[in-house]
């Protein structure tokens, strides 16, 4: 059984199923109750499950995460919504100093099944603190799992898999794609939570990215094909841990790789992946791994986001450079 849903409604359906399946699942966040959240991801859930399961919290991100830590210790599975990516930083200490370390601190005796949902990324013309890509902070933090769906089917299943995880999961939702529709298989997940996926087969260059960037990579691959270049596209899906198997297999076939991300390039997830692929597939590479990223400056005003964010043309320029070696 399948249903055609935008990513926001797929997330809503996944949360509804998790709430209905396990009465220890709770949702917490700012304006997630009657309003349904800024992006309406939780719309209707408080009416269906009540204010003790879908909790409108104070405007205090640190308090939301701190409360969730206590709830997890008490046997609950809190799912938190951070309203916008840039608002996660008031809770950064709770996430990185406490949530990520408690299980290790207690030698595995205390689990932290907490999911932190964060709408992230650009392309919505928003103001400062509303278009961040903070994934590197969390992938750098041992003890956290970090994932990001790029399509509706993954959104539906990955949110449920994240809730089922015994460890804390930072769940990054590409806000620019909330209204992008796709077929959702309501019967079974296609992949485990931490598996990467080939979304387009190709022979000449491997293109890798996550979240909203996957759509841009597919656009670049289609343009490259019209010029006679065959690009393989891989959706990373899991940012920590990274499933390197499909990436390395692909690079060993194509001999080239371009990694694209919205975040700035310096000390980023793309830096780590490029280094690892260079280490593990060095003798298969015909060219260095190239990276396309946001620039190493704060996210600009909305009228300049089109210049700041990688687009298909910037990715194609990297493809051309890779093929020129």
Residues annotated as catalytic (active site), given as ranges: 130
Residues with Cβ within 8 Å of 293's Cβ and at least 6 positions away in sequence, in order, are 260, 261, 262, 263, 264, 265, 268, 270, 310
Consecutive H or E run containing 185: strand 181-185
Residues with Cβ within 8 Å of 304's Cβ and at least 6 positions away in sequence, in order, are none
Place of tokens 């539906």: 156
- Give the span between the Cα atoms of 254 and 230, in whole angstroms: 9
- Give the span between the Cα atoms of 149 and 127, in whole angstroms: 24
Beta strands in 34-168 (DSSP E): 54-56, 77-81, 115-120, 145-147
- 105, two tokens: 């601190």
**Residue 140: half-sphere exposure toward Cβ, Cα within 13 Å:** 12
197-234 burial, b for 16+ CB within 10 Å, e for fewer?
Answer: bebbebebbbbbbbbbbbbbbbbbbebbeeeebebbbb
**CA dihedral defined by 294, 298, 303, 307, rounded to 10 degrees?**
-20
117: nearest Cα among 63, 89, 79, 153:
79
**Residue 269: half-sphere exposure toward Cβ, Cα within 13 Å:** 29
Residue 293 sits at the vertex; the CA angle it makes with 124 and 82, to the nearest 5 degrees, is 45
């Amino acid at each position: 059984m399948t249903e055609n849903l935008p990513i926001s409604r797929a997330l809503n359906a996944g949360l509804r199923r998790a709430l209905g399946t396990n009465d220890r699942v709770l949702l917490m966040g700012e304006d997630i109750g009657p309003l349904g959240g800024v992006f309406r991801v939780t719309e209707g859930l408080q009416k269906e499950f009540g204010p003790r399961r879908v909790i409108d919290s104070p405007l205090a991100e640190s308090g939301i995460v701190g409360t969730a830590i206590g709830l997890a210790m008490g046997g609950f599975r809190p799912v938190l919504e951070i309203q916008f990516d840039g608002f996660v930083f008031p809770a950064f200490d709770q996430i990185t100093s406490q949530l990520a370390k408690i299980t290790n601190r207690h030698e595995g005796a205390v689990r932290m099944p907490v999911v932190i949902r964060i709408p992230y990324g650009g392309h919505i013309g928003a103001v400062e603190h509303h278009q961040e890509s903070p994934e590197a902070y969390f992938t750098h933090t041992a003890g956290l799992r970090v994932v990001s769906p790029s399509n509706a089917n993954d959104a539906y299943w990955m949110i449920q898999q994240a809730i089922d995880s015994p460890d804390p999961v930072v769940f990054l939702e590409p806000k620019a794609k909330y209204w992008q529709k796709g077929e959702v298989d309501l019967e079974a997940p296609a992949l485990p939570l931490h598996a990467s996926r080939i979304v387009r087969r190709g022979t000449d260059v491997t293109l890798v990215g996550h979240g909203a960037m996957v759509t841009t990579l597919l656009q670049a691959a289609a343009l490259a094909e019209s010029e006679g270049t065959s690009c393989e596209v891989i959706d990373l899906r899991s940012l920590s841990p990274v499933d390197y198997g499909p990436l390395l297999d692909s690079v060993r076939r194509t001999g080239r790789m371009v990694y694209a991300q919205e975040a700035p390039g310096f000390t980023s997830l793309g830096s780590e992946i490029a280094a690892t692929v260079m280490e593990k597939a060095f003798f298969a590479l015909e060219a260095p791994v190239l990276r396309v990223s946001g620039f190493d400056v704060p996210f600009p005003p909305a009228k300049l986001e089109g210049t700041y964010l990688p687009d298909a043309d910037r990715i194609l320029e990297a493809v051309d450079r890779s093929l020129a070696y």
